[in-house]
């Protein structure tokens, strides 16, 4: 990129920045003059102001729609997240309950091994103990073909389901109390989990559509509405500026007069930048023509040298032709004589 092209690019960037700034000034002027009686007296002013108000209402409705869609989408995603958390919480309770049931079953088995519990009430434990071979007073690794862990957990579950824990004391009684507390807490979580599952399931499709398409459409709607509002305000502001001599007077608020003066200065600077751009483009075009001219002149110089070489060769060939013709004439004369 040449130096002049760099200058032109810099100039265009300044023009774009200046145009955007002037646009913002016009929008600000329009907002400030929404209730100016002096401006409203101008023909056509009320129509432009009405268009601004209409565009502003559309933008507010678009923002409300976006907020509603986002809220619905966030509510759905929040419930989904909460449902997953409740599932993990319930799974954690279940895991802890299983561990404590195994501990409770082991404690009950140990007590039954020493006949410390009622044989009728805890017959399901004593029946397994009576089938053990070579009883040595400690917990066996395998009972009735099931793993120790599963069997102890089965004991614990039976104790709780039959309300036999009232007969337990000490460590076994404490474990039973912990299990019942966890059962209650898990039931509460399961109830909340079920409610969330119904809510999420019933609205899965509608919320899924909102989260993917609705939010994006609503966001575009806000951008489009805001763009239309800016355009309406910009048109109104430009109208007020162009007609400023008709409504700006001694009784006009100083801030409005200052705004008009600022826009005038900025437009003057924009005009100067525009003239500079036109000059730079002309100079750039002249540079292009000069470059083409230099290229063509180089071609002409090369062709001129090539023509001199060809002319020299033509002269040599013509001289050779003349020599050959003279020789031929001599030979013919010799034959005639």
What are the beta bridge partners of residue 143? 146
Tell me the pLDDT band of 205, cut-offs 50, 70 and 90: low
In a domain, 187, yes or no: yes
Note the pTM of the prediction, 2 decimals. Answer: 0.54
Assigned domain for 219 exists: yes
> Rounded CA gap, 260 and 264, in Å?
6
User: Within a 13 Å sphere around the CA of 200, how many CA atoms are in the beta-carbon half?
Assistant: 16
% of residues, the chain, pLDDT over 90: 46
Domains: count for the chain: 1
Q: Is 112 within a domain?
A: yes
Asked, for residue 283, whether it belongs to a domain, the answer is no
pLDDT at 2 over 90: no
In a domain, residue 133? The reply is yes
Q: Give the separation between CA 224 and CA 221, rounded to whole angstroms.
A: 5
313 lies in some domain: no
For 130, the token pair is 């009576």
Tokens of 32: 């400030």
Q: How many residues does the chain have?
A: 337
For residue 327, the SS3 value is helix
**Residues 22 and 238: beta-carbon distance below 8 Å:** no
Looking at per-residue pLDDT, the higher value among 254 and 238 belongs to: 238
Q: How confident is the model at residue 273 (pLDDT cuts 50, 70, 90)?
A: very high
Domain membership of residue 150 as a residue range: 43-242
Split at pLDDT 50, 70, 90, the class of 145 is: very low
Q: Is residue 314 part of a domain?
A: no
- Lowest mean pLDDT across 215-219, 261-265, 304-308: 215-219
Write the CA distances from 252 to 59, 114, 199, 248, integer angstroms.
Answer: 30, 105, 60, 6
- Which among 28, 33, 51 has a CA at the least distance from the CA of 247? 33
DSSP state of 147: E
């Amino acid at each position: 990129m040449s130096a002049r092209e760099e200058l032109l690019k810099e100039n265009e960037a300044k023009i774009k920045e200046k145009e955007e700034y002037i646009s913002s000034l016009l929008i600000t002027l329009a907002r400030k003059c929404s209730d100016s009686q002096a401006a409203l007296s101008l023909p056509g002013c009320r129509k432009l102001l009405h268009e601004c108000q209409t565009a502003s209402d559309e933008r507010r409705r678009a923002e409300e729609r976006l907020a509603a869609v986002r809220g619905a989408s966030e509510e759905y995603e929040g419930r989904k997240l909460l449902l997953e958390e409740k599932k993990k919480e319930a799974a954690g309770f279940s895991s802890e309950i299983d561990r404590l049931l195994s501990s409770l079953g082991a404690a009950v088995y140990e007590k039954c091994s020493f006949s410390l519990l009622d044989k009728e009430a805890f017959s399901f434990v004593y029946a397994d103990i009576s089938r053990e071979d070579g009883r040595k007073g400690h917990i066996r690794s395998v009972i009735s073909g099931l793993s120790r862990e599963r069997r102890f957990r089965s004991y614990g579950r039976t104790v709780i389901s039959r309300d036999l824990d009232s007969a337990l004391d000490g460590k076994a009684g404490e474990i039973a109390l912990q299990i019942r507390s966890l059962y209650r807490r898990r039931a509460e979580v399961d109830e909340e989990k079920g409610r969330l599952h119904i809510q999420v399931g019933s609205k899965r499709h509608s919320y899924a559509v909102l989260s993917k398409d609705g939010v994006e459409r609503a966001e575009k709607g806000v951008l489009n509405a805001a763009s239309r509002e800016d355009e309406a305000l910009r048109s109104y502001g430009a109208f007020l500026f162009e007609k400023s001599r008709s409504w700006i007077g001694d009784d006009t608020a100083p801030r409005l007069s200052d705004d008009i003066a600022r826009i005038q200065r900025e437009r003057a600077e924009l005009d100067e930048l525009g003239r500079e751009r036109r000059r730079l483009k002309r100079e750039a075009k002249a540079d292009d023509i000069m470059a083409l001219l230099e290229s063509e002149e180089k071609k002409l110089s090369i062709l001129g040298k090539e023509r001199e070489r060809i002319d020299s060769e033509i002269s040599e060939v013509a001289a050779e032709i003349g020599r050959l013709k003279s020789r031929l004439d001599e030979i013919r004369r010799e034959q005639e004589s």
